[in-house]
Each structure stands twice: as C-alpha cells, then as structure tokens.
C-alpha cells in the first residue's frame, strides 16, 4: 500500500499541494491543488490575506480525501521573515503584514542605536535586509506599541498555519533564523539581544528542529477535511526545503534556489560571522541537520514576474525566455539594487537604470527580459567569485533548483558568465525538500544523504556547459 506525504508549499505569488510517495526506489510527485497568493492593501499596509491562505490549505487537503489518497503526514513551508502576533486568547493582533511593506523604512537605524550593525552581524550571522523580522518588530514597537504590548506569542507564517491546523504553537528552526534574532552557535534565541531591543521576551517560543512531529489535526479540522494525519515540521523556510532537494552529496556544493528570489550559496558546518562575510552581505541561515546555508539573496525572477504582469501578461514565462534569448542588447543593471525591490513599475525602473548608465534602453518584453536575465547571470558570476574567496573552495558545478531552473536562457547565460557547469533541476525543489524531510521522519529514507541520492535519480536534471 502506498504511503502518501503532503507538501503544502506556499510562495509569494502562489501555493500548491503536492502529494509524494515512493515507487521502485524513486520519489513520485502529484500536484493536486494550486491557488493564488499575493499582497493586498489593507489599513494602509501591504498584507497577506492569511484567512484566504488557510482556506486554500484546507481546500487542498479536502482534495486528498476526494482522491482517496490520505497522507500519513503534512508539512507546510512558506517564505521567510514575516510573522503574526497572538494575544493571550490566541487571537491574531493586527494584520499579517508583508515584507514589502514600507513600515520598516528607517528601522535599521533604530536597531543600530542599541545594537551596532557590526555587533548584530557577529551575533547572528544574518545579512542585512530592511524587511528582516528584527526591523519589522522595531516598526511595531515604534508605530504600534500598544499592539506589541498585548502580544503573548510570535509565530512565523508557516508556524501560524500549523497552529490553525493543530492547535499547537511551535517555532521551527530554519525560519526562526531569518528573524535575525537567533544565536548561530546555540541555535536558540539571542535573548540578550532581544532584551536590549526591548522586544517582549515571552513571545519567542522554544525552537523545534525540522523533522519534528508536532501533533495531529485538531478535531474540527479533521471533520472538515475528512481525515487525520501527523503534522511534521519540514524546513519551513522555503529556501531551506529547496536546499534539502539539491541533488548532490559532494562535500562542497554550490546552489542557486531560483524563483521569486535567487538564493545563491553553499552549506557550511559552522557559521561565518566575520567582517568580510558581512561586507559581502552573505547570510548564515539555518539549514536541515543544523548546517548553515551560507548564501546571498539576489533579486531573482521577481523582476521578470513584474515585467510580465506590466507589459506581457498573456505570454508564458517560457515564451518570454525564448524571446529574450534571441536579443543581442548588451545592457546590464545591478540586479541587487534596492530600486528593484518594490518599484511602482519594474519595466520603467529597468529602462531608467539603463538610461542613467548611458546604456541602450530596452524596448518591449523581449529586450527588457534579456537585460534582466543577463544582469542576473552577471550577478551570479560576481557572487561565485566572492563565495570562492570567502570559503577557499573552487566549485566545479552550480546546481540550479526551483522554478527558475526552467529558464533555459538564464541557465545558459549562467554557465557562460560563471565558466562552470550548470545542472538545472529539480523544478519543484521546495516541495521535494519538504517531502524528503517528511519521508526521513517516516523512515522512507534513512537520512539526508539517502534522500538526496533518491532525488538525483527521481527527477530530470539538465546540464549546461560554459
């Protein structure tokens, strides 16, 4: 009898329910439900419609019942840094504010008045991004202190969804590290820093490891979806799950988790919280088995997604990529410039950046996309050089996993610009990594090494040479 595992993988623009099972030693996937996601304006803030997200979680679980494929466990992963606050009655306080909201503007300086930037990095190993949870909490403290005072619990987005399913409040490790409030040596909250910043210490729950079974569906949820199952914590940070799915057991592995963001890095046994790592803006996010994901956040395919929405909504990403591959426009922009984080119009911003640097201004979807793809590849090459200098390793191969591994032109450009072999795939890396952790917990795989070997033999991986 097949044992099914359910990965609920929620990204910034969409979510999906994917069932996985083992068959003849290979992992087999079946997408059974997909739903939209996106930020909305509410009360003057950019927020997530958390109620709609939870209804979508339940809708996909009901689909399992309809198909007669009942999972033995379910795991939820989402993006990082965003959270909700609960009061003493476990009711949500305020909105589930999204990381692209501008409430954190200037909050870095407020934090540095208490904890200088160099000390903050040395104590957490997390790169500065203005939307990190540490700055979101400062915004709450400065702008809505009465709400923060009522808070009894902080839950990251996937942990909150797990709470709604199970009634159990649990904080998972990989997502917790993205708050910039975790000590990389102990893997626990940096409570001294939390106290210094004046955040209520009681809201930070004990941290649980990926692979932990936190409980079962609560009674009313069982009645709604028509079954019960265990709730397993995968690496709840989607990049953490995607890195689990990197199909290599080499000691020194270089990856790009390519999607809305491009997360480029390697795995370390110990965090690198030194000055040079800080200057290069590398981060040490928590990984499965307490490895550190030493990586850099690069703007990623968010730029293409935005341009598609603005000027080519009817075209597929595959078509856009193919059109871009035929362009010869040489213009390059800094893909990691904050100007591309949340511009009013991405197309205009790319054109303006080219104009300001006296380069050819791209016209139309093909040329704009070509500039973005070329710029990303240049950024990857620069980051590769920094990584090799920082780690002392020479990486022969770059593994590109996630939805962006389908971007044929970007993969080709990456191989050309970096001078390295590119192995692209699997596409559904985040869901696969989510499932892999559940399958390790369920004794379908022995350990991470066994799971990665299984993934390598289960999914198509394309090779690109320089």
Of residues 368, 377, 102, 387, the one with CA closest to residue 262: 377
Both tokens of residue 342? 């949340």
* Catalytic residue list contains 102: no
191: Cβ–Cβ under 8 A, 6 or more apart, which residues? Answer: 201, 204
Collapse the DSSP code of 62 into the 3-class scheme (helix H, G, I; strand E, B; otherwise coil) and give the result: helix
Both tokens of residue 8? 């609920």
CA-derived radius of gyration, the chain: 21
DSSP 3-state helix, strand, coil percentages of the chain (rounded to 5)? 45, 25, 35
Helix or strand (DSSP H, E) at 175: helix 173-177
Both tokens of residue 451? 């799971």
State how far the Cα of 19 lies from the Cα of 432, in Å rounded to an integer. Answer: 10
**Could you say which DSSP state residue 206 is in?**
P
| Active-site choice (9, 159, 238, 409) | 238
Contact 374, 332 (CB under 8 A): yes
Contact 205, 169 (CB under 8 A): yes
Cis omega before residue 426 (within 30°)?
A: yes
State how far the Cα of 41 lies from the Cα of 54, in Å rounded to an integer. Answer: 19
State how far the Cα of 434 lies from the Cα of 60, in Å rounded to an integer. Answer: 16
Burial tier of 98 (Cβ tally within 10 Å: 0-12, 13-18, 19+): buried
In sign, the C-alpha dihedral spanning 207, 75, 268, 372 is negative
State how far the Cα of 45 lies from the Cα of 47, in Å rounded to an integer. Answer: 6
What is the set of active-site residues?
Answer: 238
């Amino acid at each position: 009898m097949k044992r099914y595992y359910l990965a609920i993988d929620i990204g910034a623009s969409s979510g999906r329910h994917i069932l996985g099972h083992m068959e003849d030693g290979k992992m087999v996937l079946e997408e059974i439900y997909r739903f939209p996601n996106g930020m909305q304006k509410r009360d003057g803030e950019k927020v997530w419609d958390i109620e709609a997200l939870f209804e979508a979680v339940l809708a996909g679980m009901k689909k399992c019942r309809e198909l007669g494929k009942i999972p033995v466990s379910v795991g939820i992963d989402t993006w990082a840094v965003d959270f909700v606050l609960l009061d003493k009655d476990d009711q949500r306080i305020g909105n589930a504010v999204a990381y692209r909201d501008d409430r954190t503007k200037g909050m870095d300086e407020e934090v540095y008045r208490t904890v200088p930037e160099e000390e903050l990095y040395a104590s957490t190993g997390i790169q500065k991004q203005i939307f990190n949870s540490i700055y979101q909490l400062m915004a709450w403290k400065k702008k809505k202190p009465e709400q923060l005072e009522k808070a009894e619990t902080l839950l990251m987005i996937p942990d909150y969804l797990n709470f709604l399913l199970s009634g159990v409040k649990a904080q998972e490790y990989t997502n917790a590290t993205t708050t910039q409030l975790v000590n990389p040596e102990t893997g626990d909250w940096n409570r001294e820093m939390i106290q210094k910043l004046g955040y209520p210490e009681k809201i930070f729950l004990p941290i649980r490891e990926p692979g932990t079974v936190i409980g079962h569906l609560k009674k009313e949820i069982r009645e709604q979806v028509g079954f019960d199952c265990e709730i397993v914590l995968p690496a709840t940070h989607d990049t953490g799950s995607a890195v689990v799915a990197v199909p290599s057991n080499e000691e020194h592995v270089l990856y790009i988790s390519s999607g809305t963001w491009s997360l480029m890095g390697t795995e370390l046994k110990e965090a690198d919280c030194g000055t040079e790592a800080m200057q290069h803006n590398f981060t040490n996010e928590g990984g499965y088995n307490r490895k550190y994901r030493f990586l850099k956040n690069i703007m990623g395919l968010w730029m293409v997604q935005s341009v598609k929405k603005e000027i080519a909504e009817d075209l597929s990403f595959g078509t856009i990529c193919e059109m871009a591959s035929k362009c010869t426009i040489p213009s390059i922009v800094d893909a990691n410039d904050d100007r591309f984080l949340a511009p009013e119009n991405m197309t205009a911003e790319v054109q303006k950046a080219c104009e300001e640097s006296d380069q050819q201004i791209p016209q139309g979807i093909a040329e704009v996309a070509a500039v973005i793809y070329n710029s990303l590849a240049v950024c990857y090459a620069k980051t590769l050089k920094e990584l090799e200098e920082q780690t002392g390793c020479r990486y022969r191969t770059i593994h590109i996993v996630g939805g962006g591994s389908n971007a044929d032109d970007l993969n080709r450009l990456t191989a050309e610009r970096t001078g390295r072999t590119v192995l692209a795939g699997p596409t559904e890396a985040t869901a696969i990594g989510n499932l892999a952790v559940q399958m390790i917990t369920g004794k379908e795989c022995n350990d991470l090494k066994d799971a990665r070997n299984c993934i390598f033999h289960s999914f198509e991986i394309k090779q690109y040479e320089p």
